[in-house]
């Protein structure tokens, strides 16, 4: 079955700090996942990359087998 969400080696760095390091996951239809971790573990950063709100330093996010583009669309 095709993945709804798939990441490959998803990484985000802020200068010398690595916030997310090499996350690869595959979410199939009907599956439910939770992000658990301590403050500063990279949960919000990972979700923002999945939503296309911030660009990964490395790796790729695909939704329905299509790579996502990062950015915002202006209002009005």
Residue ranges of E strands in the chain: 5-14, 17-27, 58-63, 66-67
Reported as a single tens digit per residue, the pLDDT across 3-55 is 999 999 999 999 999 999 999 999 999 999 999 999 999 999 999 999 999 99
* Fold (CATH) for 5-67: Rossmann fold (3.40.50)
CA angle, residues 74, 75, 76, in degrees to nearest 5: 120
Residues 9, 22: Cα–Cα separation, whole Å: 4
Domain locations along the chain: 5-67
**Could you give the CA distance from residue 67 to residue 60 in angstroms, rounded to a whole number?**
7
Mean pLDDT, range 54-74, rounded to an integer: 87
């Amino acid at each position: 079955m095709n993945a709804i969400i798939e990441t490959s080696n998803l990484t985000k760095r802020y200068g010398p700090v690595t916030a997310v390091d090499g996350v690869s996951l595959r979410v199939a239809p009907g599956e439910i996942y939770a992000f658990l971790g301590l403050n500063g573990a990279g949960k919000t950063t990972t979700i923002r990359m999945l939503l296309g709100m911030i660009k990964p330093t490395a790796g790729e996010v695909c939704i329905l087998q299509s790579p996502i583009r990062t950015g915002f669309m202006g209002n009005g």
